[in-house]
Amino acid sequence: MANLMVGIDVSLRSHSVQFMNDSGDALASFAIPNNVDGAQTLLTRMVTSARKLQCALVRVGMEATSNLGWHLAHFLNAQLHQQSDFQAQVFVLNARKVARFKKGYDTLPKNDRLDAWVIADQLRFGRLPHALTTCVQYEALQRLTRTRFHLMQNIARDKTYFLNQVFLKFSGLRQDNPFSNLFGATCLAVLQELEPEQIAAMSIEELVDFLKDKGKNRFDNPEELAAYLQKLARSSYRLDKALADPVNISLSVMLSVIQTMEKEVAKLDKEIAKVMKSIPQTLTTVKGIGPVFAAGIIAELGDITRFDNHNALAKYAGLVWSQYQSGEFESQETYRVRTGNKYLRYYLIQAANLIRHHDSEYKAFYQGKYAQAIKHQHKRALVLTARKLVRLVFMLLKTKQLYTPPEGRG
């Protein structure tokens, strides 16, 4: 029996569609609008063609282009699985892998119709990811955790920009911050309410009183802190008066944006924790993995049975390293592959960073990898610790067992 391959090139207003049989013959090429009517038209034509060709299998593929194909993919997945005449599979393909597959056809131009043809041809060759599965619970959780990821990335970027502005206003504070946290309440009060010239001219007593008030008497030695802050103020560059107000306004605006986004993250965290109460899991039995990080991991993995082992899970997360070997030569330097699910990788790395502070086994592993690294020690050690965490995540989700820390093992 024949098989039908359906390649779809996704765009905002319309989709280009290519039908192809398993011999590589182009059957039909057409476009549909990106709406319910277009989806229904495509479904009708697919079912008609599959029955006419007496197909045993229908494969549908499209690139993961933002959310532009999300509705169509889930609509077809739900409707095609109701058909009893043939088996159906819907694939959401990595755009980078599709582009690499297309490079095998070095004379093809770039247009939507040919892109749909390339996707259909890739479906015919196989070596495809897991077919799309629908679980509303995971999809709902994913909207929250991915939005949180987006906000956290923006916060990190805006904090970097904020710190660059701090150097203009108070270069010494940016170079050698005497406070434990530059975004702490006392440090921000210094930046917002005082100029370096004022700090340098204040008496130690005045500055100590200011620090005690803003720090709520939490500093062990405010006199020493005040003296050091004055030293930094005196050694800092002086900003031209014409720039002082614009820099202060820039700092104020950026700080307001950062704090607003942090409040929104807190709202998301509460909602994520609420959703997680209805999802049975044992990841949170690991000290350091709270409901938010557990949600970020589970939302991207979905059903753990999709993965044969922890190696497959690590590959999906992009926590695998390349190999370069030729003849008798094998490179000692390896690099992490630049593919995989970035959301899953982010939550695994963030969870690993917390676990190493609570679990002696992970702490020792991190320290060992840190000592071995020549450069980027923290980053390298943390990514390797996240790879170790993948094994634990796979085991806990697979067996549904509670985690026993090293101190509690017999």
The predicted pLDDT at position 373 comes to: 87
Candidates 324, 317, 322, 323; CA nearest to 339 is: 317
User: Do the domain assignments include residue 292?
Assistant: yes
Closest Cα partner for 296 from 364, 354, 382, 357?
354
Q: Are residues 376 and 348 in the same domain?
A: yes
> 385-402 as b/e, with b when 16 or more CB fall inside 10 Å?
bbbbbbebbbebbeeeee
Are 269 and 289 in the same domain? no
Instruction: Give yes or no for residue 96 having a pLDDT over 90.
Output: no
The pLDDT of residue 268 is 97
Per-residue confidence (pLDDT) for residue 194, from 0 to 100: 94
Instruction: Specify the number of domains making up the chain.
Output: 3
Residues 222 and 343 in one domain: no
Q: What is the pLDDT of residue 334?
A: 66
pLDDT band at 409 (very low <50, low <70, confident <90, very high): low
Q: Is residue 324 part of a domain?
A: yes
State whether 379 and 306 are in the same domain.
yes
The answer to whether residue 17 sits within a structural domain is yes
**Domain co-membership, 400 together with 376:** yes
User: Do 114 and 154 belong to one domain?
Assistant: no
> Is 156 found in the same domain as 126?
no
Burial profile 238-273: b = 16 or more Cβ within 10 angstroms, e = fewer: ebeeeeeeebbebbeebbeebeebeeebeebbeebe
Residue 407 parent element (H or E): none
Indicate if 181 and 269 belong to the same structural domain.
yes
What pLDDT was estimated at residue 387? Answer: 96
Better-predicted residue by pLDDT, 150 or 329: 150
Give the percent of the chain with pLDDT over 70: 95
Rounded Cα gap, residues 341 and 353, in angstroms: 19
User: 308 and 206 in one domain?
Assistant: no
Could you tell me the CATH number of the domain that includes residue 180?
Answer: 1.10.287
Domain boundary among 81, 99, 134: 134
Range of the domain at 222: 140-273
Residue 155 is assigned to a structural domain of this protein: yes
Residue 88 belongs to a domain? yes
pLDDT band for position 9 (cuts 50, 70, 90): very high
Is 278 contained in some domain? no
On whether both 166 and 202 belong to a single domain, the answer is yes
223, pLDDT greater than 90? yes
Q: Is 43 part of a structural domain of the chain?
A: yes
284, two tokens: 């949170």
What does the alpha-carbon distance between residue 362 and residue 359 come to, in Å, rounded to a whole number?
5
Q: Considering the entire predicted model, what is its pTM?
A: 0.86
The predicted pLDDT at position 119 comes to 95
Q: Residues 315-345: pLDDT tens digits? A: 999 998 865 545 554 455 567 777 789 999 9
Looking at 105, 134, 163, the residue that finishes a domain is: 134
What average pLDDT does this structure show over 173-196?
93
**Looking at residue 325, what is its pLDDT?**
46
Residue 59 reports pLDDT greater than 70:
yes
Calculate the average pLDDT of the chain. 91
Q: Quick one: DSSP state of residue 190? A: H
Specify if 79 maps to a domain. Answer: yes
Domain closes at, from 273, 296, 325? 273
CA dist 146 and 137 (Å) reads 14
Are 292 and 400 within one domain? yes
Are 341 and 319 spatial neighbours (Cβ–Cβ below 8 Å)?
A: no
Nearest alpha-carbon partner for 137 in 274, 272, 279, 277 = 279
261-313 per-position pLDDT tens digit: 999 999 999 999 999 998 999 999 999 999 999 999 999 998 898 899 999 99
Kindly state whether residues 149 and 250 are assigned to the same domain.
yes
